[in-house]
């Protein structure tokens, strides 16, 4: 862990270097102000755009990256997976406003060490950063139980990819072009996602998948 050492009257204090990515300015400002009150935590970078996470982390080498899921550009889960590959010594803590079991599972798959809700008590974030920096996992117990009880994503990777593009507003022909598939194949994938999710139509399939945290 790349920690700075500060001296005070009581001896040595290890400072945890934190990168924070949150797209809402007021929320980000409040989180930074909260963390800067902690003597052992130093926010070395604050970002609003997910595309900046990996380059900034490589430049500043934080100990912990606190990442919101929903960011402009690269989302927090994708950034967490990339950090795991290019900067494994930087541990990630995911922030979210919705505790969906599927999203929690995706966070674990991306290598995140912690997953906490934005409405958690303020002191919980600072403590979670300390625990994650030491290699511990930090997860709300109720969310862990919900993830254990919930079923796995029934969609294949390709079906999920097609549905994610549809959820973003892409039409069938556009999806086909972006994924190098035929229009008929894309329609078949969208039909199969609706069947597997027991959805009435494509929009209903998107809703179900989002609520489960699979998109």
CATH code for the domain in which residue 68 is found: 3.40.50.2300
Mean pLDDT for 177-194 is: 92
Neighbour tally for 83: CB within 10 Å: 25
Q: Is the pLDDT of residue 35 over 60?
A: yes
- Res. 146 pLDDT band, cuts 50 70 90: low
pLDDT, greater one: 122 or 137: 137
**Same-domain status, 119 and 182:** no
Q: Tell me which of 129, 149, 169 is where a domain ends.
A: 149
**Same-domain status, 137 and 200:** no
Supply the pLDDT for residue 142.
60
Per residue in 99-124, pLDDT tens?
A: 666 777 788 888 999 988 887 787 88
Supply the pLDDT for residue 100.
67
**Same-domain status, 42 and 140:** yes
pLDDT, greater one: 11 or 44: 44
Sign of CA dihedral 19, 22, 26, 31: negative
**Same-domain status, 134 and 165:** no
Output the pTM of the full model. Answer: 0.66
**Same-domain status, 130 and 173:** no
**Same-domain status, 101 and 125:** yes
Average pLDDT, the chain: 85
Size of the chain in residues: 215
Q: Return the percentage of the chain with pLDDT > 90, whole number.
A: 50
Could you give the number of structural domains in the chain? 2
Supply the pLDDT for residue 4.
47
**Same-domain status, 181 and 128:** no
**Same-domain status, 132 and 85:** yes
What whole-number distance in Å separates Cα of residue 92 and Cα of residue 74? Answer: 15
What whole-number distance in Å separates Cα of residue 164 and Cα of residue 159? Answer: 8
Long-range CB contact pairs, 78-86, < 8 A, 24+: 78/50, 78/110, 79/21, 79/50, 79/53, 79/54, 80/107, 80/110, 80/111, 80/112, 81/109, 81/110, 81/111, 82/53, 82/54, 83/53, 83/54, 83/57, 83/111, 84/110, 84/111, 86/54, 86/58
The residue segments making up the domain with residue 186 are 157-212
**Same-domain status, 189 and 142:** no
Do 160 and 70 form a contact (C-beta atoms < 8 A)? Answer: no
Phi-psi region of 82 (alpha: psi -120 to 50; beta: other; left: phi over 0): alpha
Q: Is the pLDDT of residue 190 over 60?
A: yes
**Same-domain status, 94 and 16:** yes
**Same-domain status, 144 and 175:** no
Neighbour tally for 111: CB within 10 Å: 16
- Res. 3 pLDDT band, cuts 50 70 90: very low
**Three-state SS for 118?**
coil
Mean pLDDT for 64-73 is: 92
């Amino acid at each position: 862990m790349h920690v700075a050492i500060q001296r005070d009257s009581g001896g040595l204090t290890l400072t945890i270097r934190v990168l924070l990515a949150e797209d809402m300015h007021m929320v980000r400002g409040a989180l930074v102000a909260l963390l800067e009150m902690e003597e052992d935590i130093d926010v070395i970078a604050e970002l609003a755009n997910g595309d900046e996470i990996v380059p900034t982390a490589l430049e500043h080498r934080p100990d912990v990256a606190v990442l919101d899921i929903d960011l402009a550009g690269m989302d927090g889960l994708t950034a967490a997976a990339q950090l795991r590959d290019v900067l494994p010594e930087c541990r990630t803590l995911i922030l979210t406003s919705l505790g969906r079991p599927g999203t929690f599972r995706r966070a674990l798959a991306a290598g995140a060490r912690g997953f906490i809700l934005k409405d958690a008590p303020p002191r919980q974030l600072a403590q979670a950063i300390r625990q994650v920096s030491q290699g511990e996992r930090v997860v709300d117990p109720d969310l862990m139980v919900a993830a254990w009880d919930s079923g796995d994503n029934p969609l294949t990777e390709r079906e999920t990819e097609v549905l994610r593009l549809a959820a973003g507003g892409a039409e069938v022909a556009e999806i086909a072009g972006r994924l190098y598939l035929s229009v008929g194949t894309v329609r078949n994938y969208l039909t199969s996602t609706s069947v597997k999710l027991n959805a009435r139509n494509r929009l209903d399939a998107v809703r179900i998948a989002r609520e489960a945290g699979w998109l």
